Chains A and B, each alone.
Chain A
Amino acid sequence: MSTTRPIATTRSATGIPTGKLAVWWVIGSEIVIFGGLLASYVMHRLGHPEWAEYASHTNTWFGATNTFVLLTSSLFAVLAHHAAEQGDGKKAAKWLLGTCAGGLVFICVKAVEWTGEIQHGYTITANGFWHFYYTAAGLHGLHVIAGCIIMLIIANDARKGKELHRVELIGIYWHFVDIIWIFLFPLLYIAK
Protein backbone atom coordinates (compact mmCIF):
# COMPACT_ATOMS: atom_id res chain seq x y z
CA MET A 1 0.00 0.00 0.00
CA SER A 2 1.27 3.45 -0.83
CA THR A 3 2.18 5.67 2.11
CA THR A 4 1.69 8.88 0.09
CA ARG A 5 -1.25 10.86 1.43
CA PRO A 6 -3.35 13.03 -0.88
CA ILE A 7 -2.56 16.75 -0.91
CA ALA A 8 -6.17 17.49 0.08
CA THR A 9 -5.45 15.79 3.39
CA THR A 10 -2.02 17.18 4.15
CA ARG A 11 -2.18 20.79 2.98
CA SER A 12 -4.08 23.57 4.74
CA ALA A 13 -2.66 26.76 3.22
CA THR A 14 -5.90 28.65 3.91
CA GLY A 15 -6.14 27.58 7.54
CA ILE A 16 -8.58 24.83 6.59
CA PRO A 17 -7.54 21.39 5.26
CA THR A 18 -7.82 21.57 1.47
CA GLY A 19 -10.27 18.66 1.29
CA LYS A 20 -12.63 20.41 3.70
CA LEU A 21 -12.27 23.69 1.81
CA ALA A 22 -13.25 21.81 -1.36
CA VAL A 23 -16.42 20.57 0.35
CA TRP A 24 -17.30 24.15 1.32
CA TRP A 25 -16.78 25.20 -2.32
CA VAL A 26 -19.04 22.36 -3.47
CA ILE A 27 -21.69 23.62 -1.05
CA GLY A 28 -21.20 27.19 -2.28
CA SER A 29 -21.89 26.09 -5.85
CA GLU A 30 -24.81 23.93 -4.69
CA ILE A 31 -26.35 27.04 -3.09
CA VAL A 32 -26.35 28.67 -6.53
CA ILE A 33 -27.81 25.55 -8.20
CA PHE A 34 -30.60 24.91 -5.67
CA GLY A 35 -31.00 28.62 -4.92
CA GLY A 36 -31.59 29.39 -8.59
CA LEU A 37 -34.11 26.57 -8.88
CA LEU A 38 -36.00 27.53 -5.73
CA ALA A 39 -35.93 31.25 -6.60
CA SER A 40 -37.41 30.37 -10.03
CA TYR A 41 -40.10 28.32 -8.30
CA VAL A 42 -40.97 31.15 -5.90
CA MET A 43 -41.28 33.77 -8.65
CA HIS A 44 -43.43 31.47 -10.81
CA ARG A 45 -45.57 30.52 -7.82
CA LEU A 46 -46.21 34.20 -7.07
CA GLY A 47 -46.98 34.90 -10.73
CA HIS A 48 -49.35 31.96 -11.14
CA PRO A 49 -52.27 32.03 -8.67
CA GLU A 50 -53.60 28.79 -10.16
CA TRP A 51 -50.62 26.88 -8.73
CA ALA A 52 -52.15 27.08 -5.24
CA GLU A 53 -54.72 24.51 -6.36
CA TYR A 54 -52.05 22.27 -7.90
CA ALA A 55 -49.96 22.46 -4.71
CA SER A 56 -52.93 21.40 -2.60
CA HIS A 57 -52.50 17.85 -3.97
CA THR A 58 -49.10 17.28 -2.34
CA ASN A 59 -49.25 15.18 0.83
CA THR A 60 -47.93 17.08 3.88
CA TRP A 61 -47.47 13.86 5.87
CA PHE A 62 -45.08 12.38 3.32
CA GLY A 63 -43.07 15.62 3.42
CA ALA A 64 -43.12 15.77 7.24
CA THR A 65 -42.07 12.11 7.51
CA ASN A 66 -39.12 12.72 5.20
CA THR A 67 -38.17 15.87 7.14
CA PHE A 68 -38.12 13.79 10.33
CA VAL A 69 -36.02 11.11 8.60
CA LEU A 70 -33.45 13.61 7.27
CA LEU A 71 -33.19 15.52 10.57
CA THR A 72 -32.57 12.22 12.35
CA SER A 73 -30.00 11.12 9.77
CA SER A 74 -28.27 14.48 10.26
CA LEU A 75 -28.07 13.71 13.99
CA PHE A 76 -26.45 10.36 13.11
CA ALA A 77 -23.98 12.13 10.79
CA VAL A 78 -22.86 14.56 13.49
CA LEU A 79 -22.57 11.69 15.99
CA ALA A 80 -20.37 9.90 13.44
CA HIS A 81 -18.21 13.02 13.30
CA HIS A 82 -18.11 13.10 17.10
CA ALA A 83 -16.99 9.46 17.21
CA ALA A 84 -14.32 10.16 14.56
CA GLU A 85 -13.03 13.07 16.68
CA GLN A 86 -12.58 10.58 19.53
CA GLY A 87 -10.64 8.33 17.15
CA ASP A 88 -13.32 5.61 17.30
CA GLY A 89 -13.53 4.56 13.64
CA LYS A 90 -15.80 1.56 14.25
CA LYS A 91 -18.39 3.70 16.05
CA ALA A 92 -18.13 6.40 13.38
CA ALA A 93 -18.76 3.74 10.70
CA LYS A 94 -21.86 2.52 12.56
CA TRP A 95 -23.30 6.03 12.78
CA LEU A 96 -22.53 6.57 9.10
CA LEU A 97 -24.41 3.39 8.23
CA GLY A 98 -27.32 4.71 10.31
CA THR A 99 -27.17 7.96 8.33
CA CYS A 100 -27.15 5.97 5.10
CA ALA A 101 -30.18 3.98 6.30
CA GLY A 102 -31.94 7.32 6.80
CA GLY A 103 -31.14 8.22 3.19
CA LEU A 104 -32.54 4.87 2.05
CA VAL A 105 -35.78 5.38 4.02
CA PHE A 106 -36.06 8.89 2.53
CA ILE A 107 -35.80 7.51 -1.02
CA CYS A 108 -38.31 4.72 -0.27
CA VAL A 109 -40.85 7.23 1.11
CA LYS A 110 -40.30 9.37 -2.00
CA ALA A 111 -40.85 6.34 -4.25
CA VAL A 112 -44.18 5.51 -2.57
CA GLU A 113 -45.25 9.17 -2.66
CA TRP A 114 -44.34 9.68 -6.33
CA THR A 115 -46.00 6.41 -7.37
CA GLY A 116 -49.30 7.60 -5.92
CA GLU A 117 -49.00 11.02 -7.48
CA ILE A 118 -48.12 9.69 -10.92
CA GLN A 119 -51.04 7.23 -10.73
CA HIS A 120 -53.33 10.20 -10.08
CA GLY A 121 -52.03 11.91 -13.23
CA TYR A 122 -49.75 14.41 -11.49
CA THR A 123 -46.78 13.76 -13.77
CA ILE A 124 -43.81 16.01 -14.55
CA THR A 125 -45.59 17.24 -17.70
CA ALA A 126 -48.96 17.91 -16.02
CA ASN A 127 -48.27 21.63 -15.49
CA GLY A 128 -45.59 24.08 -14.34
CA PHE A 129 -46.05 23.33 -10.65
CA TRP A 130 -45.49 19.58 -11.02
CA HIS A 131 -42.55 20.28 -13.33
CA PHE A 132 -40.84 22.25 -10.56
CA TYR A 133 -41.96 19.72 -7.94
CA TYR A 134 -40.32 16.74 -9.65
CA THR A 135 -37.24 18.71 -10.76
CA ALA A 136 -36.50 20.14 -7.30
CA ALA A 137 -37.34 17.00 -5.30
CA GLY A 138 -35.65 14.80 -7.93
CA LEU A 139 -32.42 16.82 -7.93
CA HIS A 140 -32.46 16.69 -4.14
CA GLY A 141 -33.09 12.93 -4.25
CA LEU A 142 -30.05 12.48 -6.52
CA HIS A 143 -27.96 14.31 -3.91
CA VAL A 144 -29.27 11.95 -1.23
CA ILE A 145 -28.31 8.90 -3.34
CA ALA A 146 -24.84 10.34 -4.13
CA GLY A 147 -24.32 11.13 -0.42
CA CYS A 148 -25.25 7.57 0.56
CA ILE A 149 -22.79 6.04 -1.93
CA ILE A 150 -19.92 8.28 -0.76
CA MET A 151 -20.86 7.60 2.87
CA LEU A 152 -20.64 3.83 2.37
CA ILE A 153 -17.12 4.22 0.93
CA ILE A 154 -16.06 6.47 3.85
CA ALA A 155 -17.70 4.14 6.41
CA ASN A 156 -15.71 1.23 4.98
CA ASP A 157 -12.45 3.16 5.53
CA ALA A 158 -13.53 4.47 8.94
CA ARG A 159 -14.29 0.93 10.09
CA LYS A 160 -10.61 0.16 9.56
CA GLY A 161 -9.58 3.40 11.32
CA LYS A 162 -8.47 5.00 8.04
CA GLU A 163 -9.07 8.59 6.81
CA LEU A 164 -11.29 9.52 9.76
CA HIS A 165 -11.20 13.22 8.80
CA ARG A 166 -13.43 12.34 5.83
CA VAL A 167 -16.28 11.53 8.23
CA GLU A 168 -16.60 15.25 8.93
CA LEU A 169 -16.47 16.10 5.21
CA ILE A 170 -19.35 13.82 4.23
CA GLY A 171 -21.22 15.06 7.31
CA ILE A 172 -20.98 18.68 6.14
CA TYR A 173 -22.35 17.65 2.73
CA TRP A 174 -25.17 15.63 4.34
CA HIS A 175 -26.24 18.50 6.61
CA PHE A 176 -26.40 20.75 3.55
CA VAL A 177 -28.68 18.23 1.79
CA ASP A 178 -30.79 18.31 4.96
CA ILE A 179 -30.96 22.13 4.86
CA ILE A 180 -32.15 22.06 1.24
CA TRP A 181 -34.99 19.76 2.26
CA ILE A 182 -35.80 22.06 5.21
CA PHE A 183 -36.66 24.73 2.59
CA LEU A 184 -38.25 22.37 0.03
CA PHE A 185 -40.68 21.10 2.68
CA PRO A 186 -42.53 24.40 3.30
CA LEU A 187 -42.26 25.43 -0.37
CA LEU A 188 -43.82 22.26 -1.78
CA TYR A 189 -45.91 20.88 1.08
CA ILE A 190 -46.92 23.64 3.52
CA ALA A 191 -47.55 26.78 1.42
CA LYS A 192 -50.80 25.73 -0.27
Chain B
Amino acid sequence: MAEHQDHAGDHGQAFYVKIWAILLVLLILSVLGPIIAPHVAFGFLEAWMITLMTAFGIALVKAYLVAANFMHLNVEKKYISYLLATMLMLMLLFFAGTAPDVMEHKGQNWENVAAAAEVERALEAEGKDPHGEHAEGHDDAAH
Protein backbone atom coordinates (compact mmCIF):
# COMPACT_ATOMS: atom_id res chain seq x y z
CA MET B 1 0.00 0.00 0.00
CA ALA B 2 3.02 2.30 0.36
CA GLU B 3 2.85 3.49 -3.22
CA HIS B 4 -0.75 4.63 -2.68
CA GLN B 5 -0.06 6.83 0.32
CA ASP B 6 0.85 9.87 -1.79
CA HIS B 7 -2.50 9.78 -3.60
CA ALA B 8 -5.75 9.97 -1.72
CA GLY B 9 -3.85 10.06 1.58
CA ASP B 10 -3.44 13.82 1.20
CA HIS B 11 -7.18 14.45 1.27
CA GLY B 12 -9.77 13.76 3.92
CA GLN B 13 -13.40 12.80 3.34
CA ALA B 14 -14.45 16.46 3.58
CA PHE B 15 -12.38 17.30 0.50
CA TYR B 16 -14.14 14.67 -1.62
CA VAL B 17 -17.56 15.74 -0.35
CA LYS B 18 -16.66 19.34 -1.33
CA ILE B 19 -15.76 18.23 -4.88
CA TRP B 20 -19.03 16.25 -5.07
CA ALA B 21 -21.00 19.35 -3.93
CA ILE B 22 -19.32 21.45 -6.66
CA LEU B 23 -20.22 18.74 -9.22
CA LEU B 24 -23.88 18.88 -8.12
CA VAL B 25 -23.97 22.68 -8.44
CA LEU B 26 -22.54 22.32 -11.97
CA LEU B 27 -25.16 19.66 -12.77
CA ILE B 28 -27.94 22.03 -11.68
CA LEU B 29 -26.45 24.82 -13.83
CA SER B 30 -26.29 22.54 -16.88
CA VAL B 31 -29.97 21.57 -16.45
CA LEU B 32 -31.02 25.20 -15.91
CA GLY B 33 -28.94 26.43 -18.90
CA PRO B 34 -31.49 25.76 -21.69
CA ILE B 35 -34.33 27.02 -19.46
CA ILE B 36 -32.78 30.40 -18.61
CA ALA B 37 -30.86 30.88 -21.89
CA PRO B 38 -33.75 32.59 -23.81
CA HIS B 39 -34.20 35.06 -20.92
CA VAL B 40 -30.57 36.10 -20.57
CA ALA B 41 -29.62 36.19 -24.27
CA PHE B 42 -28.57 39.64 -25.43
CA GLY B 43 -26.62 41.14 -28.31
CA PHE B 44 -24.35 38.63 -30.02
CA LEU B 45 -24.85 36.15 -27.15
CA GLU B 46 -27.72 34.06 -28.47
CA ALA B 47 -29.71 31.48 -26.50
CA TRP B 48 -28.15 28.48 -28.29
CA MET B 49 -24.66 29.74 -27.44
CA ILE B 50 -25.56 29.92 -23.73
CA THR B 51 -27.05 26.40 -23.91
CA LEU B 52 -23.88 25.06 -25.57
CA MET B 53 -21.68 26.73 -22.95
CA THR B 54 -23.74 25.52 -19.99
CA ALA B 55 -24.05 22.00 -21.47
CA PHE B 56 -20.63 21.18 -22.91
CA GLY B 57 -18.51 23.80 -21.10
CA ILE B 58 -19.79 22.54 -17.76
CA ALA B 59 -19.36 18.90 -18.89
CA LEU B 60 -15.67 19.61 -19.53
CA VAL B 61 -15.26 21.18 -16.07
CA LYS B 62 -17.09 18.27 -14.41
CA ALA B 63 -14.94 15.72 -16.27
CA TYR B 64 -11.78 17.58 -15.20
CA LEU B 65 -12.89 17.66 -11.55
CA VAL B 66 -13.62 13.91 -11.55
CA ALA B 67 -10.39 13.00 -13.40
CA ALA B 68 -8.14 15.23 -11.31
CA ASN B 69 -9.63 14.70 -7.86
CA PHE B 70 -11.43 11.34 -7.88
CA MET B 71 -9.17 9.46 -10.33
CA HIS B 72 -6.16 11.35 -8.87
CA LEU B 73 -4.82 12.01 -12.35
CA ASN B 74 -3.22 15.21 -11.03
CA VAL B 75 -0.82 13.19 -8.86
CA GLU B 76 -0.43 10.22 -11.24
CA LYS B 77 2.71 9.70 -13.35
CA LYS B 78 2.73 12.23 -16.19
CA TYR B 79 2.89 9.59 -18.91
CA ILE B 80 -0.60 8.39 -17.99
CA SER B 81 -1.97 11.83 -18.89
CA TYR B 82 0.01 11.69 -22.16
CA LEU B 83 -1.40 8.21 -22.86
CA LEU B 84 -4.99 9.40 -22.37
CA ALA B 85 -4.35 12.61 -24.34
CA THR B 86 -2.99 10.51 -27.24
CA MET B 87 -6.23 8.52 -27.30
CA LEU B 88 -8.22 11.76 -27.37
CA MET B 89 -6.07 12.97 -30.26
CA LEU B 90 -6.88 9.73 -32.14
CA MET B 91 -10.56 10.49 -31.61
CA LEU B 92 -10.10 14.01 -33.00
CA LEU B 93 -8.14 12.61 -35.96
CA PHE B 94 -11.02 10.22 -36.67
CA PHE B 95 -13.48 13.11 -36.46
CA ALA B 96 -11.42 15.39 -38.71
CA GLY B 97 -10.98 12.64 -41.30
CA THR B 98 -14.60 11.52 -41.57
CA ALA B 99 -16.75 14.48 -40.47
CA PRO B 100 -16.59 16.38 -43.80
CA ASP B 101 -18.10 13.36 -45.60
CA VAL B 102 -20.82 12.86 -42.99
CA MET B 103 -21.79 16.43 -42.14
CA GLU B 104 -22.06 17.46 -45.79
CA HIS B 105 -24.25 15.59 -48.27
CA LYS B 106 -22.60 16.91 -51.42
CA GLY B 107 -19.01 17.54 -52.52
CA GLN B 108 -17.21 18.49 -55.71
CA ASN B 109 -17.32 15.00 -57.22
CA TRP B 110 -19.78 13.15 -55.04
CA GLU B 111 -23.27 13.26 -53.62
CA ASN B 112 -24.83 11.36 -50.73
CA VAL B 113 -28.28 11.03 -52.28
CA ALA B 114 -29.72 8.77 -49.56
CA ALA B 115 -28.75 11.10 -46.67
CA ALA B 116 -30.00 14.21 -48.48
CA ALA B 117 -33.30 12.46 -49.29
CA GLU B 118 -33.73 11.36 -45.67
CA VAL B 119 -33.15 14.92 -44.38
CA GLU B 120 -35.67 16.26 -46.92
CA ARG B 121 -38.26 13.59 -46.09
CA ALA B 122 -37.91 14.03 -42.33
CA LEU B 123 -38.04 17.84 -42.38
CA GLU B 124 -41.11 17.77 -44.63
CA ALA B 125 -42.74 15.32 -42.21
CA GLU B 126 -41.94 17.76 -39.37
CA GLY B 127 -43.50 20.57 -41.41
CA LYS B 128 -40.22 22.45 -41.86
CA ASP B 129 -38.59 23.80 -45.00
CA PRO B 130 -36.05 21.12 -46.00
CA HIS B 131 -33.95 23.68 -47.87
CA GLY B 132 -33.82 26.16 -45.04
CA GLU B 133 -31.76 24.23 -42.51
CA HIS B 134 -28.64 26.28 -43.19
CA ALA B 135 -30.51 29.57 -43.34
CA GLU B 136 -32.37 29.64 -40.03
CA GLY B 137 -31.86 33.39 -39.70
CA HIS B 138 -33.66 33.97 -42.99
CA ASP B 139 -36.50 31.69 -41.91
CA ASP B 140 -36.91 33.63 -38.68
CA ALA B 141 -36.95 36.89 -40.61
CA ALA B 142 -39.59 35.51 -42.98
CA HIS B 143 -41.85 34.63 -40.06
Contacts and interface: CB of A to CB of B under 8 A. Distances in A.
Contacts, number: 156
Contacts of B95: 39, 42-43
A39 B91 contact: yes
A32 B87 contact: yes
A87 interface: yes
Given A27-B84, A35-B87, A68-B24, A171 B105 contact: no
30 contacts: A16-B80, A24-B80, A27-B84, A29-B87, A31-B91, A35-B87, A35-B88, A39-B94, A40-B98, A46-B99, A47-B102, A47-B103, A47-B104, A47-B105, A47-B115, A49-B133, A50-B122, A50-B128, A53-B126, A68-B27, A71-B20, A71-B27, A75-B20, A82-B16, A84-B4, A87-B1, A164-B1, A176-B71, A186-B30, A192-B34
Interface of B: 1, 3-5, 7-9, 11-13, 16-17, 19-20, 23-24, 27, 30-31, 33-34, 51-52, 54-56, 58-59, 62-63, 66-67, 69-71, 76-77, 79-80, 83-84, 86-88, 90-92, 94-95, 98-99, 102-105, 115, 118-119, 122-123, 126, 128, 133
